[in-house]
């Protein structure tokens, strides 16, 4: 078990009747708010009006940035930073899913640099220590951005999608009302659910290695919650318990509670971000296609026990099998979960992706070196996973 520091200053209001506390929390941070949102789902649901009214009747001054794209673009971040500089914004308020939150975090950091260009931070791999405060109203259980230190930004001109990290990017406050996710489509629910599952799975091998049982079992509990509640939320979109379990699982998966004593690795994420960067696909769907293939690729005598244990603890696979066979059954259970239970298409070709850029994407994914993980992957390993 490694030494660790746990420090997550995000204050979370969870549940149905919490949004009334939004103005008082924002007023602690300032008065001038940039209200950031996506393509309009919050207008359909009425959340846009609710928030505008709450802010305006409580003396907050509201400016807007609408139209944040899924896979948020660097150009949209720069537009937001320009507004913040011009209007002396105190707080960036993200209302939406991971894309809106990531865009808001990146705006918050970009506002405080002279160039006003987020790509300067992203391309220089800057760890962000200064940013405007970010507040969140979450509408999608998926990325964990509502409680983590990351923002993933895309530059479609160069086919790059890269994470920007930093303690200053952790939101100061997040409002998580599971009811706000009732309006998600079954497809977005499935993609979000698998994103949560993979955030834990990417790291699972190392938690086992750390011999920290409590963390390992906590990880298994989060994955079990996703496996249990995602299909229910897809069939019954208004099921509060299902939506609540998924929303809290989203936050737990990346707020570093599950990293205690171990390292956080993200092999599948590194491979998936290339697919989104080249083809603008939905992140969770790309992960679902890659994950079972990656597990198959790294399966060997050393990795089999951890994969098999996951099958036993999360999917209820029998306990007395040979380890390789048990691991293979686990991989089959994960595939079934992705492609039958969640109903996601199972091949890159189903998403219009062929092998044209596999080599290029593989080299980008490992930054010309390796992706670390239970088995380190070189660019030719990554290309082989894409081909699978």
Q: Please report, as ranges, the residues that interact with Zn ion according to CB under 5 A.
A: 195
Instruction: Answer yes or no whether residue 274 interacts with ligand NZQ by CB under 6 A.
Output: no
d(CA 225, CA 220): 9
For residues 260 and 6, the answer to whether their CB atoms sit within 8 Å is yes
Instruction: Answer yes or no whether residue 39 interacts with ligand NZQ by CB under 6 A.
Output: yes
> If you write DSSP's letter for every residue of 95-128 in order, what string do you get?
EESHHHHHHHHHHHHHTTSTT--HHHHHHTT-B-
d(CA 117, CA 125): 13
Q: CB-based burial of residue 222 (10 Å sphere; 0-12 exposed, 13-18 middle, 19+ buried)?
A: buried
Instruction: Answer yes or no whether residue 142 interacts with ligand NZQ by CB under 6 A.
Output: yes
Q: Under rule CB under 6 A, which residues in 204-263 are in contact with ligand NZQ? A: 254
Chosen from Zn ion, ligand NZQ, none, partner binding at 38 (C-beta under 5 to 8 Å by type): ligand NZQ
Q: Are strands 173-176 and 11-14 parallel, antiparallel or unpaired?
A: parallel
Q: Under rule CB under 6 A, which residues in 102-121 are in contact with ligand NZQ? A: 102
d(CA 314, CA 221): 8
Taking CB under 6 A as the criterion, the residue among 55, 60, 65, 70 binding ligand NZQ is 70
Taking CB under 6 A as the criterion, the residue among 34, 122, 136, 152 binding ligand NZQ is 152
**Residues 153-192: x/- map of binding to ligand NZQ (CB under 6 A)?**
---------------------------xx-xx---x---x
Taking CB positions, which residue lies at the least distance from Zn ion?
A: 195
Chosen from Zn ion, ligand NZQ, none, partner binding at 298 (C-beta under 5 to 8 Å by type): none
Beta carbon of residue 237, minimum distance to ligand NZQ (angstroms, whole number): 9
Q: Pick the closer one to Zn ion by CB: 71 or 335.
A: 71
Helices marked H in 58-173: 74-87, 98-110, 118-123
**Euclidean distance between the first and the last CA atom of the chain, given in angstroms as a whole number:** 34
Chosen from Zn ion, ligand NZQ, none, partner binding at 67 (C-beta under 5 to 8 Å by type): none
Q: Pick the closer one to ligand NZQ by CB: 152 or 289.
A: 152
Instruction: Answer yes or no whether residue 148 interacts with ligand NZQ by CB under 6 A.
Output: yes
For residues 345 and 240, the answer to whether their CB atoms sit within 8 Å is no
E runs forming strands in the chain: 11-14, 32-37, 61-65, 91-96, 134-138, 150-155, 160-165, 173-176
Taking CB under 6 A as the criterion, the residue among 10, 33, 34, 38 binding ligand NZQ is 38
Q: Pick the closer one to Zn ion by CB: 90 or 146.
A: 146
The tokens describing 309, both together, are 């244990």
List residues near ligand NZQ by CB under 6 A: 38-42, 70-71, 96-100, 102, 139-140, 142-145, 148, 150-152, 180-181, 183-184, 188, 192, 195, 254, 269, 276, 283-284
């Amino acid at each position: 078990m490694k030494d660790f520091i746990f420090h997550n200053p995000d204050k979370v209001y969870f549940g149905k009747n919490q949004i009334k506390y939004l103005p008082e929390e924002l007023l602690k941070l300032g008065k001038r708010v940039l209200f950031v949102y996506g393509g309009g789902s919050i207008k359909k649901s009425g959340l846009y009006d609710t928030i505008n009214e709450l802010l305006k009747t409580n003396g907050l001054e509201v400016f807007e940035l609408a139209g944040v794209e899924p896979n948020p673009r660097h150009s949209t971040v720069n537009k937001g930073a320009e507004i913040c500089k011009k209007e002396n914004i105190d707080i960036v308020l993200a209302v939406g899913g991971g894309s809106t939150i990531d865009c808001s975090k990146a705006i918050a950091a970009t506002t405080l640099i002279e160039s006003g260009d987020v790509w300067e931070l992203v391309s220089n791999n800057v760890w962000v220590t200064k940013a405007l405060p970010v507040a969140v109203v979450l509408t999608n259980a998926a990325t964990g951005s509502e409680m983590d230190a990351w923002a993933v930004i895309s530059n479609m001109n160069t086919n790059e999608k890269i994470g920007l990290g930093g303690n200053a990017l952790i939101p100061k406050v997040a409002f998580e009302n599971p009811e706000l996710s009732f309006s998600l489509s079954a497809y977005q629910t499935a993609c979000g659910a698998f994103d949560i599952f993979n955030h834990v799975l990417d790291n699972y091998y190392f938690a086992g290695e750390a011999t920290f049982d409590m963390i390992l079992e906590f990880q298994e509990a989060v994955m079990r919650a996703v496996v249990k509640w995602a299909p229910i939320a897809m069939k019954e979109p208004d099921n509060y318990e299902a939506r609540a379990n998924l929303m809290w699982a989203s936050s737990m998966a990346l707020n570093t509670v599950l990293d205690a004593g171990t390292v956080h690795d993200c092999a599948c994420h590194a491979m998936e971000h290339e697919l989104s960067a080249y083809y603008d696909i939905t992140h969770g769907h790309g992960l679902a296609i890659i994950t079972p293939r990656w597990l198959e690729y790294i399966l060997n005598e050393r990795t089999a026990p951890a994969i098999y244990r996951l099958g036993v603890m999360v999917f209820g696979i029998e306990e007395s099998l040979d380890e390789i066979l048990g691991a293979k059954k686990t991989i089959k259970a994960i595939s079934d979960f992705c492609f039958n239970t969640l109903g996601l298409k199972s091949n890159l070709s189903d998403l219009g992706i062929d092998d044209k850029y596999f080599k290029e994407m593989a080299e980008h994914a490992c930054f010309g070196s390796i992706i670390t993980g239970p088995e380190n992957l070189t660019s030719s390993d990554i290309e082989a996973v894409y081909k699978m």
